[in-house]
Structure 1
Amino acid sequence: MRSSFAILCVWICFSVDASTPNGCFEIPEVENAEVSQSSRKDNYSDGDQLDYDCKHGYASPLKITYICSNNNWTKSHAEKCSQVMCVANLTINMRSDVTEDGHPGPKVSVRPGRTITLSCVGKGKKLQGQRKITCLSNGKWKVPFPKCVGGCFEIPEVENAEVSQSSRKDNYSDGDQLDYNCKHGYASPQNITYICSNDKWTKLRGAKCSLKRCELPEDIPNGQYTIVNGSNFVFRTTIKYICRDGYQMMSRSDTRTCQDGGWDNQLPACEEVMCVANLTINMRSDVTEDGHPGPKVSVRPGRTITLSCVGKGLELQGQRKITCLSTGEWDVPFPKCVGGCFEIPEVENAEVSQSSRKDNYSNGDQLDYDCKHGYASPLKITYICSNDKWTKLRGAKCSLKRCELPEDIPNGQYTIVNGSNFVFRTTIKYICRDGYQMMSRSDTRTCQDGGWDNQLPACEEVMCVANLTINMRSDVTEDGHLGPKVLVRPGRTITLSCVGKGLELQGQRKITCLSTGEWDVPFPKCVGGKVHRFTSLVFF
């Protein structure tokens, strides 16, 4: 009996529904906000809402609401609580003191509880209202916002114009004037002027600023224009030129736009449509009214030319007579001569040798190529005409010529500044070691068709030169001797002194040579007596 009860207990205890409980539990946290008192309760089911109130000193443009849906809280309005601020929009004659939250200027923003002090600037200006105003928690000022009276404040807005620089200032009193300039692309027959009178702006003179007008556009031979943007040929109006039938536009731009200084672009040109017959080396055309036999024949629409082939075994494939259409195309496919080789093969960095050139080529004829300047090939490049097409007979490609390895120089080295692998047009630059300087006119060499150009440059040791006056002496150093000219290497120091009655050294006695060939301090001089310069080189 006791075991049966235990089994019954186990069955009942473990038959409880283990599914996920329904409802929303964890209340979402919203920055600077808290759940409204009316929304608070012990548990929430699907469809329940949470309304939030912003904390003191914060506000939101919309109510912040969450809804319980599918056991999860979902935000209904994506707003946030932002700090409330009071904004003081200052007129041009008004100033505010510096506050904890802002600075004087046209717009001052402060937090609730803060106070700003306002004042007026300018002749005859007085503050109408409270000087000190305090920001409330609702973002409003505690008292009506004051204003400055006694003068003109808000600058009048003039359509398509702006106040001239010479008229701009901080404040305006009765009698002051405002001059306006029309904006770019606009003009007025009169200067626009306003005057400050009885504390308000009154228009003194001037008409409105209207769009500038360009002169009537020029016509072009065999074409006409049409307006594609704007009207009445005023500023930014664009016109487009169109050629008559049988003519085509030859200019890069077919439009012109009215700018501040007139029409832009050049006047376009329409040229007669022509059909062009590009004849191969074995083709001829008869003489027409518009052209002559040759490699390129141009004829007007409606004209007909007759074509033929010249050379052993050549025949014309296609129509003998072809007529030019108004579109600049031929009325039938352009014919060709068959039974030989025509188009000369193009070989990279090479050209057909003069000895191989002729008017037409038959089967068995050969073409020899010469590499261009700066290029070379280990084998002669040759093509042969076989079965009416060109076939390569022998030869490798033309590659850039290579110069010998550059020579080194004492106390220097080279680096490649253009090109690579010391091939044609590669340029190297020589750089001297520290303590040495370039003495040659050119420090670069370039690989040319016949080798490296320029002479091999030279690096000489850097030396500091002390040019002594006749009354100056230096001690003997490791690198030089006493005399009118002392040369020392970088790092060396010489000691200078003056000789002669009443002479003193102005500057440092000891001077050291730097790696640049300059002294570490300004070169001293002897003062206080007559100073002479050596007239000849003397060594001590």
Structure 2
Amino acid sequence: MQLITLCFVFVLSLCTFNVVKCQDCSRENFISQFSAEKLDLSKLENTDSGKTVRLSCTVGYVGLSRYTCKNGEWKKQSGRPCERKSCGHPGDTPNGDFHLTFSDDFVFGAQVEYQCKTGYQMVSRTKHRTCMEQGWDNAIPICEAVKCPVIQANKNVLVIGDSEDATFGNVIQFECQSNQMVLKGPTEIDCNDRGDWSGTVPTCEEIKCYVPNIVHGFVTGSQEEFKENDILRYGCSKYYTPFSRSSRCTKIGNKATWSPPPECEAVKCPVIQADKNVLVIGDSEDATFGNVIQFECQSNQMFLKGPTEIDCNDRGEWSGIVPTCEEIKCYVPNIVHGFVTGSQEEFKENDILRYGCSKNYTPFSRSSRCTKIGNKATWSPPPECEAVKCPVIQADKNVLVIGDSEDATFGNVIQFECQSNQMFLKGPTEIDCNDRGEWSGIVPTCEDPLDALK
């Protein structure tokens, strides 16, 4: 009986052992379920139900999690999720900057790239740093100032500045050792961000001037090279005048130049000084040959006394005087064959002039008004006396009229004849224009003798 009992217990225990074995948690299931957790699974094995495992994060991540096996399934119990390990600030480099090229924070896997500021160059082998498990790899890159070559100058040149250890931004100035020489080339150069000088090193030479190119001018003589204090004589084209009659070869600063400059200026007319009542139209302050200036009065109640325009000639003179503006006034005119009635000698605008004419003459109009026409004060209509005229003669076609019958004035005589010798004149052979503008007789006719007998 005891043997049977023992056998039953053994078999039951064996079955229980097999059931438990069937409910273990496998490593493979864990990987498929939690593969994205960034856990270190190098030591994870199949685990019995009811047991708990503690897992740390994979390389480069920090955190810790606990998982329990329950009836063949993994359950997360607690812990801190895996996060990228921080490397902290990668470090600044003097005269340089950096920026992230991978990731947006200074954590495991992030990469930064350094670059030097303008005028500096990197002397380190690498310009990158990467955040690793143990921190940033590589050393912080170093930026050194770009240097320009040592300046080799002629013995006559004075070099001002650090020419042997010049870096970006340094400026070197030059002068001649002797006042009897002049600098040929730049007075200063600077070291640029590429380590090159901005110009060539100058030389010092004897003071010499050469024939200049003078706009609108020419040099007299055949000399082409001039020493210090030599004189240059020159002339100018038509309508231009020399700035000075001669120019001297002179050292000014570090250059040999002509002083005063050999230049030709356009001939200019004097600035016009006009009365305040005169409106000047045109550039009167800088007028050259050919410029025209026009004038008007500022007020319509005035008239211009003088030319309406003047021009600047090739001698730098105005072609006429500057006019003035005066109140509109008319004066007693000289009337040929006529006379003014009354004693008034000066007339204002709209005043009336009354006049008469000599014997045998008649007024163009009985009166004339003082009026502004254009830029002048004048009489309108003009006070004129016209010779007394007789009417135009209307003669028969058979009558020949001898004399000016269309514009006959006092004293003119008109003669008549018949066009045909077969006819005779009936009436006067001539008539004259009297002082009343009338003919002294009637206009004759020509008749046929046969008609006269009827």
TM-score (norm 1): 0.29
* Structure showing greater relative contact order (alpha-carbon pairs closer than 8 Å, 6 or more residues apart): 2
Bigger helix fraction: 2
Determine which structure has more spread, i.e. the larger CA radius of gyration.
2
